[in-house]
A and B are shown apart, each in its own frame.
Chain A
Amino acid sequence: MSSTALYNDQGGAETAVEAGQESTSSTGAAFGLFSADFKKNEDLKEMLESNKESHKLEAMKRIVGLIAKGKNASELFPAVVKNVASKNIELKKLVYVYLVRYAEEQQDLALLSISTFQRALKDPNQFIRASALRVLSSIRVPIIVPIMMLAIKEASTDLSPYVRKTSAHAIQKLYSLDPDQKEQLIEVIEKLLKDKSTLVAGSVVMAFEEVCPDRIDLIHKNYRKLCNLLVDVEEWGQVVIISMLTRYARTQFINPWKEDGLDENNETAFYDSDSERNQTEAKPYIMDPDHRLLLRNTKPLLQSRNTAVVMSVAQLYWHLAPKHEVSVVTKSLVRLLRSHREVQFIVLQNIATMSIQRKGMFEPFMKSFYVRSTDPTNIKTLKLEILTNLANEANISTILREFQTYVKSQDKEFAAATIQAIGRCATNISEVADTCLNGLVQLLSNRDETVVAESVVVIKKLLQTQPSQHSEIIKHMAKLFDNITVPMARASILWLIGEYCEKVPKIAPDVLRKMAKTFTTEEDIVKLQTVNLAAKLYLTNSKQTKLLTQYILNLGKYDQNYDIRDRTRFIRQLIVPSEKSSALNKYARRILLASKPAPVLESAFKDRDRYQLGTLSHSLNIKATGYQELCDWPTIAPDASVRNVEIIEPVNEWVPKAGKSKQRKSEKFYSDEEEDRDEAGSESSSTEDSSSSSSEESDKSSSASEKTSSESEANSIDLFALLCSQVTTSSFSPVKTYDLLHHMSAKGLAAKYHFPRQPCLYQPCMVAVQVILTNCSDHNLEEIHIGDRIPASLNIHCFNTIERLEPGAAVTVSMGIDFSDSTQAANFQLCTKSDKFNVSIQPVVGELLTPSTMTEEDFCMEQTFVFYFHCLSDIPLCFLCLVMGPSCR
């Protein structure tokens, strides 16, 4: 609460300043004068109720200003909510902002605004639909859950990808408001996951992660699509998708790390057509092509300007790629070190974890981790950590030279950390242990106390590894003892002397004597070590120290700290023989003077690899709420065929939705764009192919754009026109191919067909159909021809029998079918020498019509004619068109 109090205090001064501004500039005026909220709110209310738009706007701006400052403006709710239906977009936006903030507190009143949103959800403008859904779903009022659910369902099938994106966001909001809706929401997610728009992909995966991260089965069918779309998704979506795919891959693919040495061959073998080398291996690991697809498609994102994207690709490679490939991420991670301080901090944390396991990855970039005096301390210590991890026999001399500079740093915390690091280097690399130790001993004469103290602590640890040779150092430290005041250092020296008291038999009792004098004024940790020292000396040299020990134990007995009292009591029982003393007494020497194992100095990041890299949990080194473990690789790969996508259903879903004369196409990237154009209508046609990955489709794009432009002309004209326009523009449109026969079900013979939309050569009543026959088997197919038809009366102009089709070869043949102006399927048999397969071709209405050009007058006449019919009867639309057919021709 202190902060609010502070805030009010400032109010006066602020008002004065801003009041001053008011007179000079008109812009600042709106936000001035808040000191007396209650009075101001009255005039805000008046302004909101005035007739002038500008007054209302002014009032709303001030109200939003209040909200931004965290002040309460909830009492204005009734006055504000009235303006929700305002025509002024700027005003409306501000009202929305207000509503989202206060609806939760004023549920009843908020309901008044709902109908406005419901109406806006049906608006022809996609932005209005989207923003209505956005605000509606942000109003956290449980009563409207059913309305939200309905709106989400509707929006998820909207033609505008932007609205669908908004619906994906709304899913999460509804889920947090009412988790009971989960099942229904999952259905919507499932539907949206199938969406091919790059706009939607990121948002729906986010919803998936929030609502049902365990439903990995929903991803299978969309996996390849997501991989392929990834480059074109907006950057925030990329991060979410990559992290989801990381988890997915860990459940679906087998471990690529098993045979590290062999992996290299595998990879090339996978790409090259000759897999000879691969076959020579005894136990080859072959990476799932989908696994490879993921790695290949994420790699370019290392070049993203967004550091979060780079980091998420790096963690993906770390967790999924074969070991030898992981190093491709190194450069990019090092590049991030130039970014903001906070970014550096997180990236360095992750590199620290990585560098423990894989020194080689970062060793060539060692110099990038050199510390600058201008770095903040936490960055410095992280860099130090990494340098220590990277140290090995070859580079240790360079690193130690660097460390020498750091030890002298003015930043004492950092200097202390450097000493720790030197200690770690010394234990890890035995060659330099002596050098390090000597260096540290020199530091003991440093003027700065923290440096000395830290050195003592580190030396203590080092000495433990090889105590015999270093009695000189112990003596030296005993001499320093008087001048050191840092408790930890004093305690360390006491412990050392106690532990190796037999090596310094003359000094040890003297130190104890000094300690006995100052015992009462020492810190607890020093007292404990004094008691320890006393006990050890009592056992080895009781003649000299018996009285001293008794004295210290008596002091300890009445100490204020219970730990010390406790320890004293324990030690007394252990070492001083008495009639009551326990059996332990005999073993006191063995207990206290047992040789202790040397401490292992290791990185603080040693155990961080249990968390997924790049996560919050990793950064904090605790399990954060909502953290999902990355599971281990499965030992046997799950069925890979689940990711096979069925081929697009032959029935095209281009029957337009009520009133909107648009056609949904199944093209990949510019589908968004086309729909957009229908609405915006004015963009020029050269936006094509901006997405780099759609280059393979660029040949199609030109034709597609021509089509849209002609379509948008016809845009406002209605249904009938649409049907005609499909035919008129048909020769430009990309060819849509349907499956006739799948090679799996036909012993290797695959057949696809499409309508070339050209007049049929054979008979005028026939529709031309082109069939592409492909031999997917490994043997020749012979005598491919058309067999029986059902019904037998079906009039088909067959293609000539194909004598022989080589494996892998394809041939295109044309045939003519008389559908007799109906949409009934033509069923017939496709035969080879040995087999017969039943197939059927289902025509779409549009394919049955031929193009015709007519003047505007003619068109209007025809149109009224059709409408007349349409109104009078419930004749099915297709029939109507067929009736119109001849007259068009």
Chain B
Amino acid sequence: MIHSLFLINNTGDIFLEKHWKSVIGRSVCDYFFEAKDKAGDPENVPPVLQTPHHYLISIYRGKLFLLSVIQSEVSPLFVIEFLHRVADTIQDYFGECSENVIKENLVIVYELLEEMLDNGFPLATESNVLKEMIRPPNILRSVVNTLTDTLPTGQLSNVPWRRAGVKYTNNEAYFDVIEEIDAIIDKSGTTVFAEIQGAIEACVRLTGIPDLTLSFMNPRLLDDVSFHPCVRFKRWEAERVLSFIPPDGNFTLMTYHISSQNLVAIPVYVKQNISFFDTASCGRLDITIGPKQTMGKMVEGLSVTIPMPKSVHSANLTATQGSYTFDLATKVLVWDIGKLNPQKLPNLKGSLSIQSGVPKPEENPSLSIGLKVQQLAISGIKVNRLDMYGEKYKPFKGVKYVTKAGKFQVRT
């Protein structure tokens, strides 16, 4: 399936190559570079390319490209999903997936790639299994070079996602319910479209092989869900509870989607007025943000990002709260507000100057809003209880809720 993999940085240097079948020369990447030049923005590079003898499927992540070479028909999503899994694994091992980190840990990354695919077909992609075969770099590994004498058993059991022989003195299980609001708000303030993307991120450190059951107060809210492989489909379908033997450590238990057909509460409103004048080469900007449906919680981490038209030269603004920056190279205006005070609404006001001789911009830029509300799941989902079977001890359990802005856009 996957024949070779090249890791390429933003400037077009190939800094790692791995071949699972016979070796394919680097020149195959030239087709990719050609497409990359044509696309301009790295985000615009088509993920699937065709060359005379091969097919190239690539992803762009963390300022680097993972480019795989394919020789025959395959589901492109299969390859894309796998490449992202590679990036996830690198991130999991070293904290981030970037050129520097990979260069520093070249051998481990190469070994990982060797284990993840056999003859181009995924072999071990679960991080619990991989970590048993190839230890992540830590103090121990650098001190004692020979540590991987134990052989993994996870791959063989019926719970391939969990490593064997887990032991903790403090047994704890934490679940974070994280919801992101994706919305498009139009000029007049009406919601064009809004939906919620939720995820339950778990951090489970439990001894032995615990069997957990998580139930919700209002499972009806969840109409479209996807699960970590550990969750038993049948129990969910029959009883709407999550029953699973968790992997060890951090993982995403489930993600859910509450679609635009439902009503979604929008925590803030934005009053904005951006205008450019025909006559003078300047414009005016006035933005106010206020609370809308916050369910009595505090809105934090508020920020506004505005990609200004290229002709905007500089910005002369005053913010009643927080601070703003205007990047002259990318023409992005960022206003960092912080907490939203309902008594004194934050406001950003002032003038924009435009390069002289350039006609005024056609379109007003749209605003991206960032925000965070602690202790609230905006959809109203609530975890009812968590039970553990199969082990005797009493674990420490915790659930946390947080709502964030996802792709939250205000058109102007």
Contacts and interface: CB of A to CB of B under 8 A. Distances in A.
Interface in B373-412: 390-391, 407, 409, 411
Interface string A786-805: 00000000000000000000
A312 B43 contact: no
A236 B59 contact: no
A61 interface: yes
Nearest to B53: A625
Given A27-B142, A166-B118, A203-B121, A231 B233 contact: yes
Given A54-B145, A620-B50, A625-B71, A364 B84 contact: no
B153 A676 contact: yes
Most buried by B among A3, A231, A620, A693: A3
Interface string B147-176: 111011101111110001100000000000
A1 B17 CA distance: 15
Contacts, number: 312
B37 interface: no
Nearest to B147: A90
Contacts of A636: none
A69 B15 contact: yes
A307 B165 CA distance: 31
Given A341-B43, A365-B260, A4 B55 contact: no
A518 interface: no
Nearest to B104: A28
Interface string A1-22: 1011011001000000000000
Interface string A100-117: 110010000000000000
Given A236-B78, A334-B257, A615 B73 contact: yes
Interface stretch (A77-85, A168-176, A708-716): A168-176
Most buried by B among A10, A232, A340: A340
Given A331-B223, A341-B60, A342-B47, A365 B259 contact: yes
Tell me the dominant secondary structure on chain A's binding face: helix
Contact of B411 (A57, A169, A405, A669): A405
Contact of B17 (A68, A172, A343): A68
Interface in B71-100: 71-78, 80-84
A436 interface: no
A7 B15 CA distance: 9
Contact of B75 (A26, A125, A243, A680): A243
A617 B70 CA distance: 12
A231 B233 CA distance: 9
Interface string A445-466: 0111000000000000000000
Interface in A661-680: 669-670, 672-673, 676, 680
Tell me the dominant secondary structure on chain B's binding face: mixed
Interface in A19-78: 26-28, 30-31, 53-54, 57, 61, 64-65, 67-70
Given A162-B155, A625-B71, A57 B145 contact: yes
A236 B44 contact: no
A68 B362 CA distance: 49
B19 interface: yes
Interface stretch (B189-197, B339-347, B349-357): B189-197
Contacts of A304: 226-227, 229
A430 interface: no
A300 B233 contact: yes
A673 B164 CA distance: 13
Interface string A393-430: 00000000010010011100000000000000000000
A147 interface: no
Nearest to B41: A376
Chain B interface bracket (under 10, 10 to 19, 20 to 34, 35 or more):
35 or more
A515 B82 CA distance: 57
Given A26-B142, A304-B226, A628-B73, A410 B48 contact: no
Given A342-B47, A684-B208, A695-B234, A3 B13 contact: yes
Interface string A316-357: 000000000000000110110010111101110000000000
Contacts of B59: 340-342
A780 interface: no
Chain A interface bracket (under 10, 10 to 19, 20 to 34, 35 or more):
35 or more
A744 B94 CA distance: 63
A288 interface: no
A345 B46 contact: yes
A373 interface: yes
B158 A687 contact: yes
Contact of A335 (B107, B142, B257): B257
Contacts of B16: 68-70
B34 interface: no
A793 to B, nearest CB: 50
A303 B226 contact: yes
Nearest to B409: A372
Interface of B: 1, 12-19, 21-23, 26-27, 29, 41, 43-44, 46-48, 50, 55, 58-61, 70-78, 80-84, 103-104, 106-107, 109-111, 114, 118-119, 121-123, 125, 137, 142, 145-149, 151-153, 155-160, 164-165, 182, 184, 186, 192-193, 195, 197, 208-209, 211, 223-237, 243, 245, 252, 255, 257, 259-261, 307, 309, 359, 361-363, 365-366, 368, 390-391, 407, 409, 411
Q: Which 7 A-B pairs have the closest CB atoms?
A: A626-B72, A692-B232, A300-B233, A342-B47, A376-B43, A408-B363, A236-B122
Given A373-B307, A410-B309, 7 more contacts: A27-B137, A137-B119, A172-B119, A331-B259, A377-B44, A673-B156, A683-B157
10 contacts: A30-B107, A57-B145, A61-B107, A67-B110, A70-B16, A89-B146, A232-B158, A305-B226, A340-B61, A690-B245
